[in-house]
Amino acid sequence: MRYLTTCFLLLALLAGCGKKAVEETTEASATESKAAPAAEAAAPDQVTLTSAEQQIGGVRLGALTQQPMSGGLKVNGVLDVPPENLVSVSAPLGGFVERTSLLQGSRVRVGQLLAVIRNPDFVQLQQDYLEARSQLKYAKAEAERQGELYRQEVAPQKNYQRAQAEYEALQVKTSAQAARLRLAGLPVGGRIVSTASLRAPKSGFVKAVNVSIGQSVTPTDVLFEIVNPEHLHVELTVFERDIPQVKAGQLVRFSLGNDSLSRERTAHIYLISKAIGPERTVRVHAHQDREDEALLPGTFVRAVIETNRVTVPTLPEKAVVQYGAQAYVFVAASAGAPAGTATYRLVPVTRGVSEDGYTEVHLPAAEQGQPLRFVTAGAYALLGKLKNAEEEE
């Protein structure tokens, strides 16, 4: 009897341990099954927002729309001036720089004094002119006297012809010496001076000052460079393979390299070079639609030449976010979000031309043809929440 009681106690103990083990196994399985959906919800390309978070972030949905956009050719270039607006100033007869007060960037007007040049040869030039002018007076009187004697048949005709030839030769010599004096900036007649005034041939700004006081200069030395920034044009560099797409009259949208706001300006192509440079590029010139005197020659520009207009899939510019070197959009997940929340999925895209607040968007092949709803506002708020969640993990 005592033996049977002991056996019953052992069997009851074993049954209790087995039931506990089964319950622990069941609880562990339930915990794992609950963790699985949580792991799925924490996918690296998805973010879930509550209704309040969506309202704060200003999240709005929209569809991909087809719009006509300009097929653009992206090129670089600079702002340049026409050849007639860039002047190099030299001293025609050379000499020594006696005085100048110009600095780079100074504004000058046509006829303004740029420098004073001293040259001992100026004295000889003026002396030769004055002597030739005196001889011209005598030659004129002699030609008139010989003409009167010839008409009275007192002197032979050859004397009159000789006097007339000498008079005409001195006329030419005097005119040439006067032109040389004017070219050098010296007075024609009057008192003799040893300095000449170098004056601005065109209004504009001083681009370069290449002299200093006391410097000896020759007629080939460029002393000053003056640039007139009016009528600046856009000079673009287009690769040889892209030239067949470029035509005169096409619209050019460009922004300045030093403009932090990347404000867009427009121009129209008026000239395409017929020569290919050593880097297999061609120069294309475009007139600005709106002149701006504040622009400087040589400024780097980024431009898009509108080659044609095509209908492409587009989204508002705010819908496309940039992270690193890749562009993305957010699409609403079809299902699986808890009640009162919405899940959005990050999708990489290829960005195209932007125009009038819309951007051309090309989806991956796996996403095309599906009825997707895109986040058109608040996309950067979603991107911030998604990346912050990744950093916390």
195, with CB counted inside 10 A (0-12, 13-18, 19+), is middle
Q: What is the mean pLDDT of residues 255-268?
A: 85
Predicted local confidence at residue 30, as pLDDT: 43
pLDDT reported for residue 43: 61
- pLDDT at residue 160 is higher than 90: no
What is the pLDDT at residue 273?
92
Task: Supply φ then ψ for residue 79, to 5 degrees.
Answer: -85, 130
Q: What is the pLDDT of residues 292-346, one digit of tens each?
A: 877 888 899 999 898 877 788 899 988 899 888 889 999 988 666 677 788 888 9
Q: Is the pLDDT of residue 139 over 70?
A: yes
* pLDDT tens track for 190-219: 788 999 989 999 888 898 999 999 999 999
Q: What is the pLDDT of residue 52?
A: 85
E strand or H helix at 108, and its extent? strand 107-108
Say if residue 161's pLDDT is above 60. yes
- What whole-number distance in Å separates Cα of residue 303 and Cα of residue 222? 34
pLDDT (mean) for 230-257: 90
| Mean pLDDT for the chain overall | 83
183 band by pLDDT with thresholds 50, 70 and 90: confident
Mean pLDDT of 232-242: 92
d(CA 198, CA 113): 6
Q: For residues 267 and 389, which has the higher predicted lDDT (pLDDT)?
A: 267
**CA–CA dist 330, 344 (Å, integer):** 6
pLDDT, mean of residues 236-256: 91
Has residue 14 got a pLDDT over 70? no
**Tokens found for residue 122:** 């100026």
CA-nearest of 53, 9, 125 to 381 is 53
Amino acid 374 reads: F
Tell me phi and psi for residue 320, to 5 degrees: -100, 120
pLDDT of residue 390: 66
Dihedral angle computed from the Cα positions of residues 266, 268, 274 and 278, in that order, rounded to the nearest 10 degrees: 0
pLDDT of residue 354: 78
**Straight-line distance from the first to the last Cα atom of the chain, in angstroms, rounded to the nearest whole number:** 65
Location of structure tokens 């007339």: 164
> Which domains are delineated in the chain?
40-67+312-392 (2.40.420.20), 73-83+228-310 (2.40.30.170), 90-120+194-227 (2.40.50.100), 121-192 (1.10.287)
How far apart, in whole angstroms, are the C-alpha atoms of residue 39 and residue 371? 27
Task: Give the whole-number percent of the chain exceeding pLDDT 90.
Answer: 33
Report the pLDDT value the prediction gives residue 351, as an integer from 0 to 100: 87
Question: Is pLDDT larger for residue 263 or for residue 166?
Answer: 166
Q: What's residue 15's pLDDT? A: 46
More confident residue, 29 or 126: 126
Q: Identify whether the C-beta of residue 141 lies closer than 8 Å to the C-beta of residue 224.
A: no
Per-residue model confidence (pLDDT) at position 98: 92
CB neighbours of 204 closer than 8 A, spacing ≥ 6?
85, 87, 107, 108, 226, 227, 228, 229
